[in-house]
Structure 1
Amino acid sequence: MTDLVPPPFSSGKSLMERVEDALLPLINLVFLLLMFFIVAGQLADDPLPELPATTQTREQRPPDADLTVDAGGNWRIAGETLDEESLLSTLPAPNELHPLRIAAAQTITMADLETLFRVLEKGGHTDILLLTEPGE
C-alpha cells in the first residue's frame, strides 16, 4: 500500500512547509497592494467633479413635454392651467408618429393620472409617453 503523503524532497521539508513557503510571496503581494490602495486613497483629497445630470441642473431646465401635471394634479401647457374642455382644444392633434409627452410630478397619484388618461382618450390621444425622472 502507498502513502497518501509524498515523501519529502531533497530539501528535507514536509509538504505543509513547502505549501507555506509557496503562499508567502502571495500573502506579501496582497499586503503590498492593500497598502498601495490605502495610501493612494488618502492622497486623493479632491472631491469628485459634479456630474452633469444632477438634481440642480434638472431643476433649472423644464421638461420637454406637451403637457405637465403638477403636484396638485393641475394640467398645464406652457405654464397655463387648463380644464378638461380647454385641454383638448389646446393640445396638438393626435399623431401616431409623435406620441403625446406628459411630464408628471413625482407625488401625483395614479387616480389623478387615470382621470387625465380618460380625458386624453376622449380626445383621440392613444399613444402617450409618460416622462419620469430617476429617483434619488
Structure 2
Amino acid sequence: MILNNATVKRPKNDDDSLIPLINIVFLMLIFFIVAGQIQPSDGAKVEPANSISEAELAPERLKIVITEDDQLFIDGAQVPQEAFARHLSDYLETLSSEQKENAAVVIKADGNLSVDHMQGYVKTIKTSGIAHISLMTQPSE
C-alpha cells in the first residue's frame, strides 16, 4: 500500500476573502454592544408629561417613577405607598452630611397622573429633607 502525501489543491473561491471581513464586522459589533451605555429600566412603563423646557436634569441621585395608577418605583424597585417616606429617610441616612445638603430626587411621573397625587409625593419628599426635586418630562411635539 502506497500513501501519497501530496496536498490537494482546492479551487480558489471568491468567498474565502470575505471571511476575515465578516470576522472584523462581528468584532466591531460586539465592541459597540459592550461599550455602549446600558441604562437600567425604570421598573414600569411611564409616559412622562410634555415639556417646552430644554433644561438638562441635575445628575440623578434617586430616581422615583410613579405610574398612572399610583405605583411607586424607587431606583427600579417597587415600593408600597405606605413605605415611601421610610425609604426616603433610609436613603438620606446612607448619605454623608455634605451629600445630604445636595441630595437630589428625579421624579418620572406618568403624564396622566393627577396633580393632587403628584403634590402629595412632592410634599412627602420635601418633608423628608430633600430640597432638590426635578420632574422628568419629554419634549412636546
TM-score tier, shorter chain, comes to: 0.3 to 0.5
TM-score of the two chains, using structure 1 as the length reference: 0.46
Higher relative contact order (CA 8 A, sep 6+): 2
Bigger strand fraction: 2
TM-score of the two chains, using structure 2 as the length reference: 0.45
